[in-house]
Amino acid sequence: MKNVIEIQDLEKAFGSNVILRGVNMKLHKGENIAILGKSGTGKSVLTKCIVRLIECDSGKINVFDNDITEMEVDQIDEIRKRVGYLFQGGALYDSMTVKENLEFPVRRTQLSKNKSEVNDMVDEALESVGLLEAKHKMPAELSGGMKKRIGLARTLILKPEIILYDEPTTGLDPVTSGEISELIMRIREKYNTSSLIITHDMKCAEITADKLKLLKDGKFYAEGSFDELRKSDDREVAAYFN
Amino acid sequence: MKKLTNQIKISVEDFLVELGNIVLFTLNTIKQFFIAPFEFKELVKQGYIIGNKTFPLIAITGFIMGLVLTLQSRPVLVDFGAQSMLPGMIAISIIREIGPVITALLCAGKISSGIGAELGAMKVTEQLDAMEVSGTKPLNFVVATRVMATTLLVPILVFIADAVGLLGSFLAVRMYEKVSIVLFLSQAFDSLSFYDVIPATIKSVFFGFFIGLIGSYKGYTASRGTESVGLSANSAVVSASLVIFIIDLITVQFSELLFA
Ligand SMILES: Nc1ncnc2c1ncn2[C@@H]1O[C@H](COP(=O)(O)OP(=O)(O)OP(=O)(O)O)[C@@H](O)[C@H]1O
Ligand SMILES: [Mg+2]
């Protein structure tokens, strides 16, 4: 099967604080992988390296068969258009309405689109996260879960082929978490995306992931399907399932 | 002893690294002025916010400055029988020095800190990262527009402060003598020359540029965590105020050299 992301021996340290010590992984087209790991193990750092928000120290990161660690800044933008990133807190632009938040990436990447086309795209993206009524609100007026869904809508609007979800359900009640997990699955069906889903929420991992990977001490410690890992005797792994 | 020299070495190194970063940031920002897309709408929005935020403050301060300066200088000039020189003296001090510097300091307190806090918050909540991954350079959209807005607006605000300051001065003179505003202004402008106005204007442009730039730099380089938002705002004010005085010093020297 075709790999959309392939990471080899990725290493990253901040000063003397070594975070990643040789991460290897592959993400196939259409696959959902959940990444588990304790807080501070470098899950966010890993995903940020994939879109080069953080420069890694060594290793290879192939995205759509381009080694992004070697790329020029201009070329990176071409890759970034095809990769969506849902930030941990939604990262909505405070000074803009929801509508303007969604228009922002479109206006800057698809210059040929006219006003009504952009508006249709906004409506479609908001509908797919079920928040059309929030279109004219400011981010400050939204709840945490709504912010995440709007953040997701802003990611979806460019129809990315890969989506990196950084803790999509953290801090939400179980019902809303469930809805977001379902949403992730619906998005995959609708847009045929491949996803990396960082999560602590086992329910979310169970629903969304084809495969789970456990990050520990800068490396992947264990991997497998939800059921495989659940049966594991390893204490480190078992700790996530109770 | 060795520990101390080591510490000095480290802080000198840190200082040089920071200086290098600031220079790079400045050059990159200036570069964005000439790179498409030119975010005109955002520029207007920022300009509006800045003007709106500072106008009342600057008008009131300018007025009081002119008034107080006149009231305090008058007795001395009267002693020498030189009160006819009062308008000219006030005009020169306001337009050459007090107007620009007071306006710039107020803007440092109000605008630099505002930009520092805003960008710091955007950095901490990953909004700048979100922009970056959606293909928009935050340096272009967020920083360049703000720096450009302050560069354009601070000179205008200085002009307003000067005008209101002269008005205050006129009212102070008027308390004691029956002069018309026309006479007051003609006395004021008679003693002003081109060489008073030009350096002051150039200085104001630089003030504006650095007010925007330092606020942006401090916010843009905020570290992670909410407390760094407050820190960015705070250190933006301190650094911007310091830089204002340094620029002031430099322009005095330069205009002496060029126009004396
Ligand atoms: N820009 C940075 N500069 C310095 N250190 C950083 C930076 N980004 C992350 N770190 C450090 O890297 C480590 C991993 O951070 P990261 O945000 O990836 O954790 P995480 O696994 O996503 O945790 P969480 O589940 O809490 O989000 C932390 O110790 C953090 O302090
Ligand atoms: Mg994280």
DSSP state for residue A140 in the 8-state scheme: G
What pLDDT was estimated at residue A2?
86
Residue numbers of B between 115 and 134 with CB closer than 8 Å to A: 118, 121-122, 125-127, 129-134
Q: Ligand 1 within 6 A of A42 CB?
A: yes
3-state secondary structure chain A: CCEEEEEEEEEEEECCEEEEEEEEEEEECCCEEEEEECCCCCHHHHHHHHCCCCCCCEEEEEECCEEHHHCCHHHHHHHHCCEEEECCCCCCCCCCCHHHHHHHHHHHHCCCCCHHHHHHHHHHHHHHCCCHHHCCCCHHHCCHHHHHHHHHHHHHCCCCCEEEEECCCCCCCHHHHHHHHHHHHHHHHHHCCEEEEECCCHHHHHHHCCEEEEEECCEEEEEECHHHHHCCCCHHHHHHHC
Which ligand 1 atom is the nearest neighbour of the CA of A45? 18
Euclidean distance between CA atoms B97 and B253, whole angstroms: 13
Which ligand 1 atom is the nearest neighbour of the CA of A15? 4
Among A10, A11, A14, residue to substitute to test ligand 1 (most atoms within 8 Å of Cβ): A14
Q: Tokens at residue B3, please? A: 């520990």
User: Measured between beta carbons, which residues in chain B are less than 8 angstroms from residue A105?
Assistant: 134-136
Helices (H), ranges, chain B: 2-33, 40-79, 86-92, 99-107, 113-124, 127-133, 138, 145-176, 181-190, 194-220, 227-259
Candidates A139, A174, A170; CA nearest to A154 is: A139
Which of B118, B127, B136 is nearest residue A91 as measured by Cβ atoms? B127
DSSP-derived 3-state class of residue B119: helix
Can you name the residues that pair with B167 across neighbouring β-strands?
none
Q: Ligand 1 within 6 A of A148 CB?
A: no
**Identity of residue A234:** D
What pLDDT was estimated at residue B225?
80
**Identity of residue B108:** A
Which protein residue has the closest C-alpha to ligand 1 atom 5? A14
Question: Contacts from B179-187 at CB under 8 Å and sequence distance 24+?
Answer: B184/B87, B185/B87, B187/B84, B187/B87, B187/B88
Instruction: State in Å: Cα A34 to ligand 2 middle.
Output: 13
Which of A81, A86, A87, A198 to mutate against chain B (most B CBs within 10 Å)?
Answer: A87
Side-chain half-sphere of B11: how many Cα atoms within 13 Å?
Answer: 5
Can you name the residues that pair with A194 across neighbouring β-strands?
A162
**Identity of residue B110:** K
Q: At what angle do helices B194-220 and B113-124 cross, to 10 degrees?
A: 20
User: How distant, in Å, are the alpha carbons of A16, A99, B3, B5, B255 from that of B9?
Assistant: 19, 51, 10, 6, 37
Better-predicted residue by pLDDT, B1 or A129: A129
Which ligand 1 atom is the nearest neighbour of the CA of A170? 25
ipTM of the complex: 0.90
What residues of chain B score a pLDDT lower than 50?
none
Instruction: For residue A104, give every residue at least 6 positions away whose Cβ sits within 8 Å of its Cβ, in sequence order, or none.
Output: A93, A96, A154, B131, B134, B136
The CA-based diameter of chain B, rounded to the nearest angstrom, is 72
Give how far B50 is from chain A: nearest CA, Å.
Answer: 15
CB contact under 8 A, A93 and B130: yes
Q: Ligand 1 within 6 A of A44 CB?
A: yes
Size of interface A-B (CB pairs under 8 A): 49
CB contact under 8 A, B136 and A92: no
Euclidean distance between CA atoms A196 and A79, whole angstroms: 16
User: Measured between beta carbons, which residues in chain B are less than 8 angstroms from residue A80?
Assistant: 133-135
Question: Residues B161, A80: contact at Cβ < 8 Å?
Answer: no
Residue A182 has pLDDT above 80, yes or no: yes
Euclidean distance between CA atoms B194 and B136, whole angstroms: 43
User: Measured between beta carbons, which residues in chain B are less than 8 angstroms from residue A85?
Assistant: 130, 133
Question: Residues B123, B220: contact at Cβ < 8 Å?
Answer: yes
Q: Ligand 1 within 6 A of A45 CB?
A: yes
pLDDT in tens, B120-168: 999 999 999 999 998 888 999 999 999 999 999 999 999 999 999 999 9
User: ω into residue A160 within 30 of 0, thus cis?
Assistant: no
Can you name the residues that pair with A166 across neighbouring β-strands?
A198
- What average pLDDT does this structure show over A180-195? 90
Domains along the sequence of chain A with CATH: 3-82+162-241 (3.40.50.300), 95-159 (no CATH)
For chain A, give the mean pLDDT. 90
Q: Tokens at residue B166, please? A: 């002269």
Question: Residues A74, B107: contact at Cβ < 8 Å?
Answer: no
Euclidean distance between CA atoms A131 and A128, whole angstroms: 8
What pLDDT was estimated at residue A83?
93
Question: Residues B69, B93: contact at Cβ < 8 Å?
Answer: yes
